[in-house]
Amino acid sequence: MSQPVATRQPSRSSHLSEEILYGAPLHFFDDPTPDVEQETAVATPLATIVELEDGRKQTIDIKEKNGEQVFYVEFDPGDSRDPFNFSKGRKWAMTIVACVYTFFTAYTLSAFAIGVPSMREDLGLNATEAALGLSVYAWGFACAPLILAPFSEEWGRNALYLGSSFVHMMFFIAVARARNLTTIIIARIIAGAAGSTGSTMVGGSLADIWRTAERGLPMAIFAVMAFLGTGAGAVAMAPVEMNEKLGWRWIQWISVIIGGTIWLALFLTMKETRSAVLLTRIARDLRNKTGDQRYRARAEDERPPLKDLIVISLTRPMWLLLSEPLVTSFSLWIGFAWGVLYGLVESIPYVFQTLYGFNQLQVGLVFLAMMMGTVIGFIGNLWQDRLYARYFPTKGPEARLYGACAARVIFPVGCFIYAWTSYSFVHWIGPVIGITIVTWGIFII
């Protein structure tokens, strides 16, 4: 059956076309505010609203491409399928679950670190070998997003959340059952790669569902959870490490249980939030229902193939790192700060057990200092936000750097205190203060 061709002429109220489009009359108007009595469709210079056979309305943007019409689907105003229009309850449920996942991926770092002593004893490892289990998690955490990011554009965020959180959980089982260092290294690097979505993708998900004016609090919660988790793992798992019948393997089994619970929460709560993926699905559904191949999503025509996206994702960051001095300087600074954070997590058990004779429970409590530093950093960011709102009209984007200017002093001062008070003849509160200040500075950076 021939399909109608949409045309426009400069008239406000006269019908330019009144034909059956997929079983429904379609009326076009040039004026964006047509008469109220026209109900089935409205066309503007930007978009047309059509009524489909099942009574649903769909916004399309009619374009010419290679001499043929293309109907680009768009979200309708107030469309419940648009992530920005999710209910407040849905948005907060998704925000909380996603941030808890972020918390958990950070939690597993220090949870593993607190169990290193019993792992060394069980597997006969030296300190350097045991430290590999901690460092390779960070390698996977850092490198995997370069490969995983393109898949979120192709498959959507929700598929990656469910898949990566499941892999993250399963490889804790591999660590729990490991009988040698090789198994631990392989399992930890894969777990780190899978868990990276809890850090790198959650911010994008929050930006998908919260408008700019609403985004401040959800983003602040996300940032706080990422740092709080780093200290919380050791605090929570220290009693497990102290129990001779449990030890490091049960730390991993408990992580499996927590990870499985979070996976279930993600499955029940999260919905796809990437607009390009949602519009692609809507267009595909319309093509299947109507048989008209003119229904398209812009992403289908504008997005490069997946293999090209992977190449871009792997090469563009390196190109920016080498060609943009601003990117280079900030990347080196942030990378160094994160390196110090991971080194700090690894060093705390050694320093406080060797120099101060702390048991595992006491060492775990030392990690509360990292959590305290995170809270102070969060409060500092509130001050930074006020400065940004005040000075942005005159200073521009540089108004975001007041906190960073403070961090350039706070961070090295904390490192200095931690290093130069870590002696047996200096009270243990000295390095604890240093840990708090270091974490405060890193949070701001």
Q: Are residues 110 and 16 in the same domain?
A: no
Q: What is the mean pLDDT of residues 274-287?
A: 86
Q: Cα 54–57–60 angle (5° rounding)? A: 125
Residue 308 lies in a domain: no
Q: Which two tokens stand for residue 389?
A: 């709102």
* C-alpha to C-alpha distance for 144 and 303, rounded to whole angstroms: 21
Each residue's pLDDT tens digit, 360-389:
889 889 989 989 998 898 888 888 878 888
Strands ordered across the beta sheet of 42-43 = 42-43, 48-51, 57-65, 68-74, 295-296
For residue 240, count other CB atoms closer than 10 A to its CB.
22
The single residue listed with the structure tokens 């129990």 is 243
* C-alpha to C-alpha distance for 422 and 403, rounded to whole angstroms: 28
Write down the mean pLDDT value for the chain: 81
The pLDDT value given to residue 260: 94
Residue 313 lies in a domain: no
- First CA to last CA across the chain, in angstroms? 62
The pLDDT value given to residue 44: 41
Q: Cα 307–311–315 angle (5° rounding)? A: 170
Q: Are residues 256 and 221 in the same domain?
A: yes
Residue 319 lies in a domain: no
Q: Are residues 211 and 135 in the same domain?
A: yes
Helix 429-444 with 402-420: angle, nearest 10 deg: 160
- List, in sequence order, every residue forming a beta bridge with 184; answer none if it has no partner: none
Q: What percent of the chain lies above the pLDDT cut of 90?
A: 27
Q: Are residues 42 and 13 in the same domain?
A: yes
Q: Are residues 349 and 253 in the same domain?
A: yes
Q: Are residues 68 and 194 in the same domain?
A: no
* C-alpha to C-alpha distance for 27 and 39, rounded to whole angstroms: 9
Q: Are residues 182 and 44 in the same domain?
A: no
Q: Is residue 17 within 8 Å of 6, Cβ to Cβ?
A: yes
Q: Is residue 111 within 8 Å of 255, Cβ to Cβ?
A: yes
Q: What is the mean pLDDT of residues 225-237?
A: 88
What is the CA 345 to chain-centroid distance, rounded? 22
pLDDT of 270 higher than 70: yes
- Amino acid found at 388: Y
The pLDDT value given to residue 47: 52
> Tell me, what CATH number does 391's domain have?
1.20.1250.20
User: Model confidence at 9, in pLDDT bands (50, 70, 90)?
Assistant: very low
pLDDT of 15 higher than 70: no
Pairing state between β 68-74 and 48-51? unpaired
pLDDT of 444 higher than 60: yes
* C-alpha to C-alpha distance for 313 and 436, rounded to whole angstroms: 35
The pLDDT value given to residue 60: 62
Q: What is the CA radius of gyration of the chain?
A: 27
Residue 353 lies in a domain: yes
Residue 445 lies in a domain: no
Q: Which of 5-14, 74-83, 410-419 has the lowest mean pLDDT?
A: 5-14
Stated pTM of the model: 0.78
* C-alpha to C-alpha distance for 438 and 410, rounded to whole angstroms: 7
The pLDDT value given to residue 29: 33
Q: Are residues 178 and 196 in the same domain?
A: yes
Q: Which of 71-75, 176-180, 315-319 has the lowest mean pLDDT?
A: 71-75
Q: What is the mean pLDDT of residues 6-10?
A: 37
Closest CA to 176 of 263, 261, 258, 251: 251
The pLDDT value given to residue 230: 85
Q: Is residue 358 within 8 Å of 367, Cβ to Cβ?
A: no
* C-alpha to C-alpha distance for 384 and 404, rounded to whole angstroms: 9
pLDDT of 25 higher than 60: no
Q: Are residues 5 and 126 in the same domain?
A: no
Each residue's pLDDT tens digit, 90-146:
999 999 999 999 999 999 888 998 888 889 888 888 888 888 888 888 888 888 888
Which range, 10-24, 27-41, 287-301, is most confident?
Answer: 287-301
Distances (CA, A) of 351 to 194, 348, 372: 31, 5, 19
User: Model confidence at 154, in pLDDT bands (50, 70, 90)?
Assistant: confident
Q: What is the mean pLDDT of residues 274-303?
A: 82
* C-alpha to C-alpha distance for 272 and 152, rounded to whole angstroms: 10
Q: Are residues 198 and 299 in the same domain?
A: no
User: Model confidence at 151, in pLDDT bands (50, 70, 90)?
Assistant: confident
Q: Cα 137–230–242 angle (5° rounding)? A: 90
The pLDDT value given to residue 91: 94
User: Model confidence at 403, in pLDDT bands (50, 70, 90)?
Assistant: confident
Residue 317 lies in a domain: no
Each residue's pLDDT tens digit, 175-203:
999 999 999 999 999 999 999 988 888 98
φ/ψ of 66, rounded to 5, equals 55, 40
Q: Are residues 296 and 379 in the same domain?
A: no
Each residue's pLDDT tens digit, 45-70:
445 555 555 555 566 666 656 567 77
pLDDT of 43 higher than 50: no
The pLDDT value given to residue 290: 79
The pLDDT value given to residue 56: 59
Q: Is residue 10 within 8 Å of 24, Cβ to Cβ?
A: no
Each residue's pLDDT tens digit, 426-443:
999 999 999 999 999 988
User: Model confidence at 153, in pLDDT bands (50, 70, 90)?
Assistant: confident
Please provide the size of the chain in residues. 445
Q: Cα 99–406–139 angle (5° rounding)? A: 45
Distances (CA, A) of 196 to 146, 191, 285, 329: 10, 9, 32, 23
pLDDT of 266 higher than 90: yes
The phi-psi region of residue 396 (left if phi > 0; otherwise alpha if psi is between -120 and 50; otherwise beta) is left
Q: Are residues 298 and 355 in the same domain?
A: no
Provide the number of structural domains found in the chain.
2
pLDDT of 416 higher than 90: yes
The pLDDT value given to residue 54: 53
Closest CA to 331 of 196, 445, 166, 444: 445
Residue 315 lies in a domain: no
Domain coverage including residue 55: 1-85+275-303
3-state secondary structure of 356: coil
Closest CA to 19 of 5, 32, 38: 5
User: Model confidence at 262, in pLDDT bands (50, 70, 90)?
Assistant: very high
φ/ψ of 60, rounded to 5, equals -130, 155
Residue 388 lies in a domain: yes
* C-alpha to C-alpha distance for 5 and 3, rounded to whole angstroms: 7
